[in-house]
Amino acid sequence: MKDIARQQMSIKVESMDMLNAQIQMEGKASASYLAMASWCDQRGYNQSASFMYQQAAEEREHMMKIFKFVNDCGGSALSPEIGNINHDFTSLEEVFETALSQEIEVTKSINRIVAGAKKNSDFGVENFLQWFITEQLEEEKTMRDILDLFEIMGRDGIALKLIDERIKAE
Considering CB distances under 5 to 8 angstroms, the limit depending on partner class, which of Fe ion, another protein, none binds residue 73?
none
Q: How far apart are CA 103 and CA 136, in angstroms?
A: 7
Please give the Cα distance from 69 to 52 (Å, whole number): 26
Q: Which amino acid is at 29?
A: A
Q: How far apart are the first and last CA of the chain?
A: 53
Residue 121, classed as helix, strand or coil, is coil
> Quick one: which of 14, 58, 93, 140 contacts another protein (CB under 8 A)?
14
What does each C-alpha distance from 103 to 30, 124, 164 come to in angstroms?
A: 11, 24, 20
Please report the sign of the dihedral spanned by the C-alpha atoms of residue 13, residue 15, residue 21, residue 22: negative
Question: Quick one: residue 44, left, alpha or beta (phi over 0 = left, psi -120 to 50 = alpha)?
Answer: left
Task: Please pick, from the candidates 24, 47, 111, 120, the single residue that binds another protein as defined by CB under 8 A.
Answer: 120
Q: Kindly write out the interface string for residues 121-140 of this chain, putting x where it contacts Fe ion by CB under 5 A and - elsewhere.
A: ------------------x-
Q: Does 166 bind another protein (CB under 8 A)?
A: no
Site string for another protein, 121-140 (x = CB under 8 A): xx------------------
* Contact with another protein (CB under 8 A) among 13, 115, 162, 169: 13
Residue 46 C-beta: closest distance to another protein, Å: 42
> Does 60 sit near Fe ion (CB under 5 A)?
no
Positions at the binding site for Fe cation: 26, 59, 62, 103, 136
- Contacts with another protein by CB under 8 A lie at 1-6, 8-9, 11-14, 17, 74-76, 78, 119-122
Positions at the binding site: 26, 59, 62, 103, 136
